[in-house]
Amino acid sequence: MNETLKVVGLVKEYDSFRAVDNVTFAVKPGEIVGLLGPNGAGKTTTINMILGILEPTAGSIEVLGKNLKEHRTEIVKQTNFAAVYAQMPGNLTVYQNLYVFGLLYQVRNLKEKIKSLLHDFDLEAFANTKAGLLSSGELSRLNLAKALINEPSLLLLDEPTASLDPSVANFIRERIKKRTAETETTVLWTSHNMYEIEAVCDKVLFLSHGKILLTGNPRTLPAEYGKKDLEELFISAAREPLFFNG
Amino acid sequence: MFLWIVIDVILWGFITKYLGSLGKDTFSFVNIILGAIILWGFLTRIEHGLMMGFLEDIWSRNFINYFASPLKIGEYIAGLVTTSIITGIFGFSVMLLIAGLAFGYNIFKIGFFLLPFLLILFIFGMAMGIFVSALIFRLGPAAEWIGWPIPMVLSVFSGVFYPISTLPKFLQIFSRVIPASYVFESMRAILAASLGTSPSTGSGQALTINLFIGFGLAFTYLLLTYFFFIRVYRYNLKHGTIARFNIE
């Protein structure tokens, strides 16, 4: 076992609809893997199953060699998550939010940890500001600080830079890359920004209709399929999945 | 947060004062009606406090963050209960203070039975709050409206403002399964006996039996609603509703 995350034959069905169809992949320590695909491809469903907030219909998920179904509490202590649609309570201050989540994840030396996160994510000036009063860029930085509070071995990021200006998005990308390099954190990252994926990810998995169509290095994959860049490959795969499937 | 209960106490305080001036000393309106309003307010605060804690997690779109953390579902419910205890006790104290200072109401006239009364109302309030939260959890944020009027509806059958014998026979059946009705019937009996208007109903044995039934019912509802919430949680895990709560 040297994978942080191992997903085998993952299936999610809603009545007769298959949102995720027999997905298998593995992610090594320190690797950043991009989960790409058009809307409704099954990216968020896959992430939700790995987070343990959605029960798979079939298949298995292993994190750090342990089965998620059997060791959920142990595993979630070593994972964390940030998404544009998962916000922090707006009536708590930035500091209080980090404190509450630090307690939930049983973080040691919590006050020191919060101090360092506030510094790393340029949030010191907002420590006593209620989260509901933050701008979207500041909120994203807070979400990310929360996602790193327990120094997770597996970090799941569902469109963490969506709707952010290029400068804030770049700030977040740089922080995650730095963190990953320092701590060997494994990251599963969904995004519709192909430039971002190319800049950050070591590997991409392209999902369509719940299935993995393509997998490979985002910098070499377009050329392998005769495409100019990742964006052109994304558009082709989204429009003609059967071509890639075959 | 406490505006409605403060208004309730002030409004009913003046109404009971006026009624008291009509009835002279034959009936203690302040002790009976205002006391009932305060105890009912306590139960309502517990139910609404628990539901509000749950709704705030929905409104702040924070569900995924909590349920993806090591927090267990039982711990989450315990957290909701704790916040409702704090808001419930605080609201209760505010009501007592206003009623005492403005209308000379003294809750301790109820005597030793005050403690079991509060305990039954507290447990039943928790059960109601968990039940309503489970319904919202199952049906989605749009079902929030269900939670607000439930205490008002139950007050019709609980004998808060009048004895249960006032209700038609077929409605009294509902009263028998509502724990709060045993509290309010007992409270009236104690206060009536202390005023000498109905000495026979104040028998300690009958009161104790009433309180045991009330406590048994409240505790049963608490267990049932807890398991109902867990069941809804498992249903939501299967159907992806937890994630959808953040998007709705």
pLDDT one-digit tens code per residue, B219-235: 999 999 999 999 999 99
Q: Is the pLDDT of residue B88 over 90?
A: no
pTM for this model (two decimals): 0.85
- List the strands of the sheet with A5-14, edge to edge: A17-27, A5-14, A58-63, A66-67
- Does the CB of B124 have a partner CB in chain A at under 8 Å? no
Query: How many structural domains compose chain A?
Result: 1
Residue A130 lies in a domain: yes
- Does the CB of B56 have a partner CB in chain A at under 8 Å? yes
Q: Specify the higher pLDDT residue, B200 or A117.
A: A117
Q: Specify the higher pLDDT residue, B248 or A129.
A: A129
Instruction: Give the closest of A12, A76, A91 to B68, CB-based.
Output: A76
Domain that holds residue A131: 87-151
Query: Is residue A134 helix, strand or coil?
Result: coil
Return the exposure string of B7-36: e unless at least 16 CB atoms fall within 10 Å of the residue's CB, then b.
ebbeebbeebeeebeeeeeebbbbbbbbbb
Residue A102 lies in a domain: yes
Q: How far apart, in whole angstroms, are the C-alpha atoms of residue A111 and residue B14? A: 51
Residues B187-210 have a mean pLDDT of: 70
Query: How many structural domains compose chain B?
Result: 1
pLDDT of residue A245: 61
Residues B104-123 have a mean pLDDT of: 85
Residue A145 lies in a domain: yes
Domain that holds residue B144: 3-245
- List the strands of the sheet with A79-83, edge to edge: A79-83, A154-158, A186-190, A32-36, A203-208, A211-216
- Does the CB of B243 have a partner CB in chain A at under 8 Å? yes
Task: State pLDDT tens for residues A103-150.
Answer: 999 999 999 999 999 998 999 999 999 999 999 889 989 999 999 999
Residue A142 lies in a domain: yes
Closest Cα of chain B to A90: distance in Å?
6
pLDDT of residue B199: 45
Q: Is the pLDDT of residue A200 over 70?
A: yes
- Does the CB of B55 have a partner CB in chain A at under 8 Å? no
